[in-house]
Structure 1
Amino acid sequence: MTQPTDLSATSAAKSWQYFAVLITVAAFLLLSKLAWWQWQRAEEKTRQLQQIASWQQQDGVPVTQLKELSLPALDGAPLRGQVRWLSPYIWLLDNQIVNGRVGYDVVVPVQAQDNKFLLNLGWIEGRSDRADLPQVAIPEVIELQGVLRTEPRPFLLGQNIESGNGYPQRIQAVLPLQLAEASGLRLADAVFYQQQSSFIPHYKPVTLPPEKHRAYALQWALLAVAVVFVALAVRYQRGQHE
């Protein structure tokens, strides 16, 4: 006759087995998803680099034609021509580090005929007192030399634009449509990164190369396989002792 304690122990063992299988499957799916996500990022970065390289072989797009063309198709394109700063708007992108020093990227709205968009002029060092924003001098007319980006979009938690009167204003992310609403300007959903200015240009189209993403994808995939092998090994060991 089976004792109640034996039935209880058997039930607990089966419950633990189901729980272990559930945890293993969940871990495998999560790690596999991370591997696939990194692989997709590698493919995306490869396409971006190819498109930018293709644009660099051309003379560039006249800035006056910006409104006539599809913005996503212009990602990575160099623009040619002059633009005029739309005074008094100046935004300082917070937490930008260059050569180990903390500062801001200077972002301003500019216009060429009916085309209005954001221009990142480069980096300026911050002051020891964060309440004291650096004062910047923006030229009235700027000759474009750089690259237009329509992707990617930064992720933001919390408030973007710090409240305050006058300019410059500190921001946490360059979100063209949000800055357009705040300023009342009709800005294109894109940012042009100037490569020559009185500030320090430091923008890189791709900070993490595709090879890195593929290496991370391989690591996550190997971890997913390892989880399954560990679970099978544990199950085998328990079977040997039953």
Structure 2
Amino acid sequence: MSQRFQFLFPWLVTAVSVAAMCGLGFWQLERMVEKQQRLASIAQKQSNESLSLTDALMEEDPRDIAISFVGTPDGERALLLDNQIHEQKVGFDVFAPVLTNAGWILVNYGWIPAPDLTRTIPQVNLSSATRQFDGIVTVPGDNPLVTETNVSLPSFPALVQQIAFKSLSESLNVALLPYVVELTSKDPAFVRDYKPVVMPPEKHLGYAVQWFGLAIAAAAIGGFAISKKGRIHE
């Protein structure tokens, strides 16, 4: 039994390793296809004219739709999304709740640099006047590694670690729509460089090729080592 285990164990380890690497390769290919479909959807949606916010929210999937609407921002209650990187510099994305004819929605005004490296909260001056907004409807991703979602009330601008609609709605005492509007018009006070797809499909293909290459190498090296060991014991 012991000799049989000693014979099968190296093959089992090699097979599991190769299967895991192939699985990661196929996963990267699936991600590539998803990104290609997302980019095609974005191109199709943004080739049309801008919709109103209410019309966009009536769509089955409002993400990536260009919109133009009038709203009244609550400029006194700005939110700063922490640890946002732009061109290797640490800063914040500035958000504010905006009252529209469709309800309250968070608007991302753009990125600002951190004043220093000691997590000093920068001063943000946002107008509360009714105005027109032009942007893209988005849904922020959920980071499972971030558990802190409460707003540091009562002081504003308030620092947040992620955009969690339920927690923010409770803290701000408003019913927020489950979307964010990324502003696209130029503003010298903010950096607006929204990228709906951060990693292009080509990178996923490259990673898939690497994983498949590693699987082939592991199979070859494992098979050679096991066969060589077997010849030694003959």
Does the residue aligned with 2:29 lie in a helix, a strand or coil? helix
Larger displacement relative to structure 2 (54-63 or 124-133): 124-133
Among 87, 97, 105, the alignment partner of 1:117 is 105
Runs of 5+ consecutive residues of structure 2 not aligned to the other structure: none
Runs of 5+ consecutive residues of structure 1 not aligned to the other structure: 1-9
Identity %: 27
> What's the TM-score once normalised by structure 1's chain length?
0.85
- Assess if the C-alpha contact under 8 Å between 1:91 and 1:170 holds in 2: yes
Q: Do residues 188 (structure 1) and 143 (structure 2) align?
A: no
Residue deviations 1:63-89, cap 9 Å, x none?
A: 13344343xx11110111222113532
| Structure 2 Cα separation of the partners of residues 48 and 42 of structure 1 | 10
| 1:190 partner letter | Y
**Residue 34 of structure 1 aligns with which residue?**
24
Offset of residue 54 of structure 1? 0.9
> Which ranges of 4 or more aligned residues in structure 1 deviate by more than 4 Å?
none
CA RMSD in angstroms comes to 2.2
Offset of residue 164 of structure 1? 4.4
Give the 3 Å change call, closer, same or farther, for CA 163–19 of structure 1 in structure 2: farther
- Assess if the C-alpha contact under 8 Å between 1:66 and 1:115 holds in 2: no
Q: Do residues 217 (structure 1) and 208 (structure 2) align?
A: yes
Among 33, 44, 60, the alignment partner of 1:54 is 44
Q: Do residues 79 (structure 1) and 70 (structure 2) align?
A: no
Among 174, 198, 221, the alignment partner of 2:163 is 174
Q: Do residues 133 (structure 1) and 121 (structure 2) align?
A: yes
Offset of residue 49 of structure 1? 1.0
Give the 3 Å change call, closer, same or farther, for CA 151–50 of structure 1 in structure 2: farther
Residue deviations 1:154-202, cap 9 Å, x none?
A: 4433313353432111112223333223322211222111122331112
Kindly name which structure, 1 or 2, has the bigger radius of gyration based on alpha carbons: 1
| 1:231 partner letter | G
Among 216, 220, 223, the alignment partner of 1:229 is 220
- Assess if the C-alpha contact under 8 Å between 1:118 and 1:176 holds in 2: no
Query: How many residues of Structure 1 are paired with residues of Structure 2 in the alignment?
Result: 230
Offset of residue 108 of structure 1? 1.4
Larger displacement relative to structure 2 (125-134 or 100-109): 125-134
| Structure 1 Cα separation of the partners of residues 56 and 170 of structure 2 | 20
